[in-house]
Structure 1
Amino acid sequence: MPSSPPTQVAIIGAGLSGLSFALALHKIGIPSTIWEVRSNNFVQGGAIMLSPNALRILDAIGVYKRIRDKGFHFETLTFKNEHDETTDVYYFGHEQLYGYKAFRVYRQILIDELKLMLHERGIQVKYDTKFTHVIAETPENVEFAFADGSVSTASLLIGADGIHSTLRKAIYPTVKPQYLGFVGMTSAIQTSRLHFPQSEPHYPLPVAIAAGPGAFVIAPQDVDGSEVLIGTQSALREQDRAGWSNLQADKDEVVRLFSRNKTSWPDLVQSAIENIDKDTINTWPYYAVPRLEKWASPSGKIIILGDAAHAVPPTTGQGVNQAFEDVWMLALLLRELGEGVELEEALGFWQRWRQERVDGILDLTRAMNNKRLPLAEQQRLPKGAVWSGGVEDTEQMGWLYGPRLEDVVAEWVRGQRK
């Protein structure tokens, strides 16, 4: 049976990937409904880094113009050593080259704006509804069930329910995320509490400071830069879900982990540690999803995207950015179904192109993770294992920020219709 654009899409998960996918589908004329296990008033803390590859997509679906005055714009992450010497620069964005600076915004601000836009467009989000399993999958649709006994059907069922995806089990019943051995720890403090080096009146932020204990990040996360996120990582053995919850709740233990080897950090970092706000402490263990052979069921009617398909550690700030790429590229391809473009081939192309990008992010992540190791450990690694960019290399991230997904999809579609 020839493919055609779906008539109704069901999305499991109302995080950033699920909400943005519904909005992208609406942009191209495909209706959808979202189901979310959490309540509507659930608040997600912290801020996220958005680079040009994601901002271009958010601009295309009408989101960026609504949030661009609600966050902090910047271009580079500066790397410094314990002597306050600049050793490297990583370009998170570049307005002249890629059309956008990087943008740091509170996650909840973006979620609230996406929810508002969906409400304005009449797209339904059903909260407090726990998806449980797929009942049946046919060439026409998917039937699926919820914990309350209700059942629904759709022409496509999308898993946007994160790294611990329930829908992924319909395709890979035994796959589990893999722990990478590290836990990220952050807090938010007032910038005015930091002791910046007097020798540098215009101190570059965000900054990653490398010293004996590893790397420490300081990044503005509001419009005027008056508040910063401070963060580092710690090697810990894996916990079960209850164990990770206990760590998050034990603020004194997190402060103790922050404070290990405190005197080995420069004065700026010590001042950050001394001013940790326990109420804003957040922890997250680093997990990744093993490489999956397929991001869709054999019929193509069940599809996973974002962290459900390829969760990567947060080191490069690309997790949510890559999810937005999944969302927009898949929506563009679904619009083109028919006239020589079949669902199976479209999904195959989508995954191949996207997997190559994810592989590049994973390579970059490993090198950046190594750059955050204690200096003694870095020195024991082989040449090239630690990321190095170059202070003047403004085009170092062109492979990541440059491609336009509309052009990528259009070129592939032209080849299919010859």
Structure 2
Amino acid sequence: MSNEVSIIGAGIAGLTLAINLHSQGIPCAIYETRPEPQNIGGAVMLSPNSLRLFDNMGICDDLKRLGYSFDTLYFRDPAGSLKETYPFGSVEEYGYSGLRVYRFELIDLLLEKVNVNKIPIYFNHKFSHVVFETEDTVTWQLIDGTTTTSSLLIGADGIHSRVRKYMYPDLSPKFTGIAGITAAVPTANLKLPSPDYKMPVTIVSLSHGAFVIAPQKADGSEVLIGKQKRMTELSREIWEKFFADKDASVAFLREGAEVFGDLAISATSDIPHENINVWPFYVIPKLESWSSANRRVLLVGDSAHAVPPSSGQGINQAVEDAVMLSILLGKGRGDKNDLGWWQGFRQDRVEQILLLNARVDRRRLPKILGSEEQGDDEQGFDLDWLYGIDVVAEVEKYVC
């Protein structure tokens, strides 16, 4: 019998969890369905709340070397007038600027840490189901029939988590009615209004929604362009056809480009099909518990709470989950009350971010005639509650 913690999923949440458990002296192993490290997805947003934690892990300097640093997202109207700003970081206020880095580059850095620390990681090992759990252990099985017994089984296997099925067999992710369509194009394609035009920028039109442009790569030589659309949920088969129809995605990105001005027209002039991504926004209905009855099975990241990308907080919150849980377990605090405190703290953060997402989405989608969806949009964005928190200190305060 192995007394290690078994982590299902070698994405950002799973790798971060493994590194932090190791730093707490807790043996662990990672099991991943894919036959090799993930090299999927585009660039991701990292804000001060996660960069502070990556700094503790010793990879922040490398992230800064690889990514595009910025402090502010600008909201402008089609005429170019500045309407408001959205802070994404500040060295002066929070110690870190925001950062946009490719997902695979972040995963590579985390994998390097996993390997340096000699944390076992097994690719091409697909989780099947939990066989049984006791008060002290959990026995679980891979698709190939291999059975393992661990002190803890932690599902870091994403929004469609197979681990979550053990606790919530009938639960499915809920579609929000919004999808994002994005592409990556060379910055050289852009016809900027002026040489000092500041990005990332969201150009907002009441009738056509918003057109987003966000630089990526360390030198800003590439930008993500994107729009959001309202749509009904599709079957898996139709979704796959939707993902595969690159011409339709290009047409959507170009639709109404003239409304957003020459910048959008130039940005959509030449869109490589291989750089197009379609992202339906799904959430997980609020779970009663992120741990099983005997607390031998736990959930972190998107398996517990999927956060759509509107505010750029999905990965940041998964990292917070993993670090806080690791410290709690490292202090020997894994009983019902401790895990309840951890879940409550994390759930409160997620719910605040979902409200923030809704405010961003209202700016990025065409307004519905006769609706009152503007709501509190005139308040602006004060995100000190999001970036200024030290989650490590919060756990230390709790255990003391």
TM-score calculated relative to the size of structure 1:
0.92
Q: In the TM superposition, what is the alpha-carbon distance from 1:267 to its structure 2 partner?
A: 1.4
> Contact 1:130–1:146 at 8 Å: present in 2 too?
yes
Q: In the TM superposition, what is the alpha-carbon distance from 1:245 to its structure 2 partner?
A: 2.1
1:280 aligns with one of 275, 279, 295: 275
> Contact 2:328–2:334 at 8 Å: present in 1 too?
no
Q: Quote the Cα distance in structure 1 between the aligned partners of 2:215 and 2:21.
A: 33
Q: Quote the Cα distance in structure 2 between the aligned partners of 1:180 and 1:224.
A: 35
Q: Quote the Cα distance in structure 2 between the aligned partners of 1:53 and 1:21.
A: 16
Aligned to 1:381: 372
Q: Quote the Cα distance in structure 1 between the aligned partners of 2:138 and 2:261.
A: 57
Q: Which whole-Å deviations, capped at 9, do the CAs of 1:125-159 have from their partners, x for residues lacking one?
A: 11111111000101111000011010111101000
Within a 5 Å distance, the mapping from 1:59-98 to structure 2 comes to 59-98=55-94
Q: In the TM superposition, what is the alpha-carbon distance from 1:382 to its structure 2 partner?
A: 4.8
Q: Quote the Cα distance in structure 2 between the aligned partners of 1:411 and 1:7.
A: 28
Q: Which runs of 4+ in 1 moved over 6 A?
A: none
> Contact 1:195–1:267 at 8 Å: present in 2 too?
yes
2:186 aligns with one of 183, 187, 190: 190
Q: In the TM superposition, what is the alpha-carbon distance from 1:7 to its structure 2 partner?
A: 4.7
> Contact 1:370–1:385 at 8 Å: present in 2 too?
no
Q: Quote the Cα distance in structure 1 between the aligned partners of 2:96 and 2:144.
A: 45
Q: Quote the Cα distance in structure 1 between the aligned partners of 2:231 and 2:251.
A: 13
Q: Quote the Cα distance in structure 2 between the aligned partners of 1:248 and 1:342.
A: 42
Q: In the TM superposition, what is the alpha-carbon distance from 1:236 to its structure 2 partner?
A: 2.3
Q: Which whole-Å deviations, capped at 9, do the CAs of 1:37-64 have from their partners, x for residues lacking one?
A: 1111542120000000000111112221
Q: Quote the Cα distance in structure 2 between the aligned partners of 1:262 and 1:224.
A: 26
1:176 aligns with one of 154, 172, 178: 172
2:359 aligns with one of 367, 385, 400: 367
Q: Which whole-Å deviations, capped at 9, do the CAs of 1:202-247 have from their partners, x for residues lacking one?
A: 1111111101310111111100111111111122221222322222
Amino acid at match of 1:40: E
Structure 2 counterpart SS, 1:182: strand
1:345 aligns with 2:349: no
Amino acid at match of 1:380: S
Structure 2 counterpart SS, 1:310: coil
Do the aligned partners of residues 32 and 342 (structure 1) sit closer, same or farther apart at CA in structure 2, a change above 3 Å counting? closer
Within a 5 Å distance, the mapping from 1:204-243 to structure 2 comes to 204-211=198-205, 212-243=207-238
Amino acid at match of 1:260: E
Aligned to 1:203: 197
Aligned to 1:3: none
> Contact 2:258–2:264 at 8 Å: present in 1 too?
no
Q: Which whole-Å deviations, capped at 9, do the CAs of 1:328-347 have from their partners, x for residues lacking one?
A: 0000100111xxx4521110
1:102 aligns with 2:129: no
Q: Quote the Cα distance in structure 2 between the aligned partners of 1:399 and 1:42.
A: 32
Aligned to 2:394: 408
> Contact 1:27–1:61 at 8 Å: present in 2 too?
no
Amino acid at match of 1:245: E
1:144 aligns with 2:130: no
Identify unmatched segments of 5+ residues in structure 1.
1-5, 391-395
Identify unmatched segments of 5+ residues in structure 2.
none
Structure 2 counterpart SS, 1:307: helix
TM-score calculated relative to the size of structure 2:
0.96
Within a 5 Å distance, the mapping from 1:230-309 to structure 2 comes to 230-309=225-304
